[in-house]
Chains A and B, each alone.
Chain A
């Protein structure tokens, strides 16, 4: 033990330098650890941002697809419905024209419709 003490007495500068060096290393270590935590947090934030952007793109894409398919379906349904209405009307009109052309009182009806005077033949 006394040998150690003698050695320390002789090499106190080395001992002090070793202790100071240890404290320096500790300080650097603490600083690096804090910086690492900040960088880790920045990375984590970027990952969260990226995930939010990806989710938004996915949601938008899915929503647009759904709206488009719904719109196409609604337009097709409306087209079929109105085609039937037009077709029925056309058919009804054709039947009406046929019926009227075959009747004897077409001129009278036309006069009534036009607000004109029907002239009886002599």
Chain B
């Protein structure tokens, strides 16, 4: 009696193992079925029937979807790269032009400031040529007058 129970238990255990191992596969297989039928043939299971062209198109779409997606991605990526490189170049150009302009303006300002600093105190009156010219004229008049006076006194 005991050996019979043991035998039954063994059989149940083996059945369980087989069920656990193969059941998911068979369930999965039952979910996706494809077959080839011709007009007038009996359909082996319930489902959707596609014409050859439609099925081929579906197959082609599936097969080429990755390639098409990659091509589109590559195209968009290259376009974006060109656009952003252009924007970058534009900003760099603006920066360079503005830097050159401002450096030039700073140089002009520095030059002007130096000039104004130099001219803040104009040369002293006795350093100007005009003064010495006028002084010469006045001195000439004076000397001439003094000489005349001296000659007059001598006579």
Give the interface of A toward B (CB within 8 A).
Answer: 1-2, 4-5, 8, 19, 22-23, 26-27, 29-31, 34, 37-38, 41-42, 45, 48-49, 52-53, 55-56, 59-60, 63-64, 67-68, 70-71, 74-75, 78, 82, 85-86, 89, 92-94, 96-98, 100-101, 104, 106-111, 113-122
Contacts and interface: CB of A to CB of B under 8 A. Distances in A.
B4 interface: no
Contacts of A5: 145, 148-149, 152
Nearest to B108: A48
A70 to B, nearest CB: 8
B152 A34 contact: no
Interface in B2-46: 29, 31-37, 41, 44-45
Nearest to A68: B86
Contact of A89 (B34, B58, B68): B68
A97 B94 contact: no
B interface bracket (residues with beta carbon within 8 Å of A): 35 or more
B1 interface: no
A38 B35 contact: no
B7 to A, nearest CB: 36
A23 B125 CA distance: 10
B103 to A, nearest CB: 9
Given A45-B108, A116-B33, A119-B33, A22 B131 contact: no
B55 A106 contact: yes
- Which 10 A-B residue pairs are closest in the complex by CB-CB distance? A116-B32, A1-B148, A101-B56, A2-B152, A111-B34, A107-B36, A97-B60, A56-B101, A71-B86, A82-B75
Interface in B108-132: 108-109, 111-112, 115-116, 119, 122, 125, 128, 130-131
